[in-house]
Amino acid sequence: MTRYQNTYGPWAVVTGASSSIGWACADDLARRGLWVVLVARREDQIQPLADHLKARYGAEARVVTADLATREGQAHVQAETADLDVGLLVAAAGLGAPGRLPETDLDAEMPMLGVNGQAVVRQAHSFGQRFAARGRGGLVFFGSVGGFQGTSLLAHYAATKSFVQGLAEEVRLAFGSAGVDVIASVPGPVATESANVAHVKLGPKASPAKVAHGTLSKLGKRATAYPGLVSKILAGSLAFLPRWRRPYVIQQGMGRMTPHQQM
């Protein structure tokens, strides 16, 4: 707790905090003694988390509602945190939708690109500069095991996670010398709200709490975290396969998926 408070405190920003991994990260950070800015689209679902953090840990929490798929929403997060001494960003917001790319509604795919790609770049740029100026801080990005190769039923999603992985690796080089810790988390299947909504069957799933703790405990120690046993097994087994073969293995392990739908 002391290390986290001294290095990444007093405030942390968590995007996608209304559910799943974002919610779990906010809870984990409050337990470590940080105050948390909770960012999500739905205020009615995020206010209970703010109340929970204050009641259980005595943590201050600021609720920021923003649609990170839009430039206005991305800028709003910066404006609403400008007066705070933020030392940590956890970019947990993400969109994903199953389906074969030729059959998808392209207009419905664009918000995914905004949240998983553009918003992460803007956050890395703005918060990275803020942390570098103060000489300490941390950036946490969420990729996916699916981001290390194409995935036929999650082609766009996998591509955005590949982008996040590459961005995190470069940002670590860019800001590491200024005292900013950067980590890319690479979960396997996770029991998230998005997966439940889409009825995605991915076999054994790690809990959001396990992913959050396994990621945050490695910040400042590792460049990449593989939270959960399934993540470690998948990443290890895929590493020995040629890249062209990996998508087939991933597809076989995904089971039946619903037709494309936006989440």
> Is residue 12 predicted with pLDDT exceeding 80?
yes
- Higher-pLDDT residue of 36 and 152 is 36
Nearest to 197 by CA among 247, 251, 262, 134: 262
Q: What is the residue-wise DSSP string for 92-107?
A: -------S-GGGS-HH
- Give the pairing of strands 61-65 and 180-185: unpaired
Q: To the nearest whole percent, how much of the chain has pLDDT over 90?
A: 60
User: What confidence score (pLDDT) does residue 228 get?
Assistant: 74
The secondary structure element, H or E, covering residue 251 is: helix 246-254
> Is residue 75 predicted with pLDDT exceeding 70?
yes
Mean pLDDT of the chain: 85
pLDDT, one tens digit per residue, over 41-69 is 988 889 999 999 999 999 999 999 999 99
Tell me, yes or no, if the pTM score tops 0.75. Answer: yes
- Higher-pLDDT residue of 188 and 257 is 188
Contacts of residues 57-60 at CB distance under 8 Å and 24 or more positions apart, as own/partner, are 57/30, 57/31, 57/33, 59/30, 59/33, 59/34, 59/35, 60/35, 60/36
- CA torsion sign for 76, 37, 86, 22 is negative
> Is residue 256 predicted with pLDDT exceeding 50?
no
> Is residue 23 predicted with pLDDT exceeding 70?
yes
User: What confidence score (pLDDT) does residue 249 get?
Assistant: 62
Provide the 10 A C-beta neighbour count for residue 170.
11
Lowest mean pLDDT among 99-103, 122-126, 233-237: 233-237
User: What confidence score (pLDDT) does residue 31 get?
Assistant: 97
Nearest to 201 by CA among 247, 254, 156: 254
Mean pLDDT in residue range 190-205: 53
Cα 212–chain centre separation: 10
Sheet holding 86-91, edge to edge: 61-65, 35-40, 11-15, 86-91, 137-142, 180-185, 224-225
Lowest mean pLDDT among 39-43, 126-130, 178-182, 205-209: 205-209
Q: How far apart are CA 169 and CA 38, in angstroms?
A: 25
User: What confidence score (pLDDT) does residue 3 get?
Assistant: 86
Q: How far apart are CA 92 and CA 97, in angstroms?
A: 16
pLDDT, one tens digit per residue, over 199-227 is 445 555 778 999 999 999 999 999 999 98
Mean pLDDT in residue range 236-242: 64
pLDDT, one tens digit per residue, over 76-103 is 999 999 999 999 999 999 988 777 777 7
> Is residue 15 predicted with pLDDT exceeding 50?
yes
